[in-house]
Amino acid sequence: MIYTCTMNAAIDLYVELDTLKPGRVNRTVDEDYQPNGKGVNVSIILKKYKIDSVAMGFVAGFTGRFIEQSLHEMDVKTDFVQVDGITRVNVFMNADKEYKLVNQGPSVTAEKQQELLDKVAQFHAGDTFIVSGSLPRNVSESILAEMAKICETNGIDFVLDTSIRSLQAILHHKPYLLKPNEEELADFFGLEHELTEEECIHYGKELLTQGARNILISRGEKGSIFINDDTCILATSPKGDVLNTACAGDALLGTFIGLYKNGTPLEEALMRATATGASTAFSKGLSDLQDVPQLLNQVEVTRREYV
**Helix/strand/coil for 278:** helix
Phi-psi region at 165: left, alpha or beta (left = phi > 0; alpha = psi -120 to 50): alpha
State how far the Cα of 198 lies from the Cα of 262, in Å rounded to an integer.
30
Largest CA distance in the chain: 58
Query: Catalytic residue at 18?
Result: no
Q: Given the residues 12, 187, 250, 288, select the one marked as catalytic.
A: 250
Q: Please, is 194 exposed, middle or buried when counting C-beta atoms within 10 Å of its C-beta (0-12, 13-18, 19+)?
A: exposed
State how far the Cα of 181 lies from the Cα of 12, in Å rounded to an integer.
21
Angle formed by the axes of helices 142-154 and 110-120, to 10°? 20
Note whether 54 and 3 are within 8 A (CB): yes
The C-alpha angle 167, 52, 276, rounded to 5 degrees, equals 70
Indicate the helix (H) or strand (E) that contains 247. none
State how far the Cα of 78 lies from the Cα of 72, in Å rounded to an integer.
8
Q: Which residue, 297, 279, 280, 299, is CA-closest to 12?
A: 280
Note whether 267 and 233 are within 8 A (CB): yes
Q: Which residues of 119-128 are buried (b: 16+ CB within 10 A; e: fewer)?
A: bbeebeeebb
Angle formed by the axes of helices 248-261 and 38-48, to 10°? 50
Catalytic site residues? 250
